[in-house]
Every structure is written in structure tokens, then in C-alpha cells.
Structure 1
Amino acid sequence: MHDSSCVFCKIIQGLLPSSIVKENEHVITIKNIDPKAPIHYLIMPKKHLVDISAFSDKDSDLGWAILKMARDLANDEIGGFVGFNLIANNGKSAGQSVMHMHFHFIAGKNIYSGGLML
């Protein structure tokens, strides 16, 4: 299921170019076009879901696929970096700029060194 106006759906369908890092049946990971760290990827479901609130019990396999993708990226992609951040901005007021659920996979920089505290 895709949304014809969604830029991420267009990337998933191959209608827009992107640097694909990894993909499987349910999830795709692309390089962020405006990275905030040496490694800054976007993990997203191939199914169009606006945000986490659109996630239903029927999507539980999709939730596992996203976490598995993050684990695989950590094992395969981050090299000598010790840790990573997995962040979802859920809704416009939280900074979500593309209304297709996605997670920022960030490694190679301590994002908290700039004063951000969670």
C-alpha cells in the first residue's frame, strides 16, 4: 500500500532516486540526504504508515522487521563505532517532516554532545 503523494513511497517504488543501504520484503534503509552524523540512515516500512500511531496489531511483524534491520545495520554497517541511536520523530510537532513512518539510524557521532538530553 503506497501513497502517491509520499516521497518515501516514491523512493520505495523506484520512482525517485535514493542511496539504498539495505532492504528486505518489509523494510528499506536509505542514506539520509542531509546527514547529521557520519552514518545517518532512514529505516522505513515499505507499507505506507504516517507515523507510529498508525501502526496496528496487524503490523507486529513489521515492527520486528524494523528492529531487525537496525540490528543488522549495527552488525554490518557501523564498523568501529560502538553505539548508535534509533530515533523516530512522531508527528509534525515532534519534528517529523515526511509523513511516512521512519526511524533515524545514527552512528559515528555523540548526538548528546551538543546539549541534547533525553
Structure 2
Amino acid sequence: MSDCIFCKIAAGEIPSTKVYEDAEFCAFKDLNPQAPVHILLIPKKHISSLLELQEADATLMGKLLFRGQKIAKEQGLGESGVRFVFNCKDDAGQTVHHIHCHILGGARLSDSFGVR
């Protein structure tokens, strides 16, 4: 999608601090971190939210979850704990309409639902 900021980040058109990239996924540090470790993991394929997934996306999303697990462990969160968050649509706090998984950790996290 031409006006999607995450598509532009994945394409290298907008700079980011990438922590992982392959043919299907890109992971980068959140510009407004809500925890000491706050990484966004996105598929390069544009999908607006979890609510827009098609059955054909099942394999891609399975791979995304396993990649998120690997990134969390590489960031040292495997023992202390990690939170994976998907916000879907405006009322849930989704501000960029490209599916993304927040990977949060590095400190004891509150029960707040304010992750954007």
C-alpha cells in the first residue's frame, strides 16, 4: 500500500532501527517505546489488521509468531517474560493500519492496556 508507513519502512524508504529482516518479515524498534524492549514485527505483505486475515494468511501468521518468539529470546526476554500484543482497529488503539505484533519486555509490565 503506497501510503502505509510500515510498508515504507519494510521497503527501506523510511529509516528505522531494524533488528531483523528477511523476505517475509521486518522487525524494528518502536519510536515511542512502552517498555525497555519494544519491537514491532510486521509481515511485508500489507494486511490491515488481524480482523482482515484470510485463511490463505495462516502460514504467514504462524511464521510471524515463531519469528516473534525468536526475536524475544534474542533480546534476552526468554527467561524473564515477554508480552506479544496485536491491536485491531481504532478503538483498540491501532494507529498504523498494517498488522504488527508488539514485542515488549525488559521490565515487569503493568496490567495497562495502553500499548499503541
| 1:43-87 Cα shifts (integer Å, max 9, x gaps) | 111000000111111111111111111111122122685100000
How many pairs does the alignment contain? Answer: 113
Relative to the length of structure 2, the TM-score reads 0.90
Q: CA separation of 1:33/1:62 partners in 2, compared to 1, >3 Å: closer, same or farther?
A: same
User: Quick one: percent identity of the two aligned structures?
Assistant: 32
Gaps in structure 1 of 5+ consecutive residues: none
Q: CA separation of 1:79/1:111 partners in 2, compared to 1, >3 Å: closer, same or farther?
A: closer
CA separation in 1, counterparts of 2:18 and 2:53?
A: 24
Instruction: State the 1:28 CA deviation.
Output: 1.0
**Alignment partner, residue 24 of structure 1:** 22
Give the 3-state SS of the residue equivalent to 1:64 in structure 2. Answer: helix
CA separation in 2, counterparts of 1:111 and 1:77?
A: 16
Q: Which runs of 4+ in 1 moved over 3 A?
A: none
Instruction: State the 1:106 CA deviation.
Output: 0.1
Greater mean alpha carbon deviation, residues 18-27 or residues 80-89: 80-89
Relative to the length of structure 1, the TM-score reads 0.88
Gaps in structure 2 of 5+ consecutive residues: none
What is the root-mean-square deviation of aligned Cα atoms in Å?
1.6
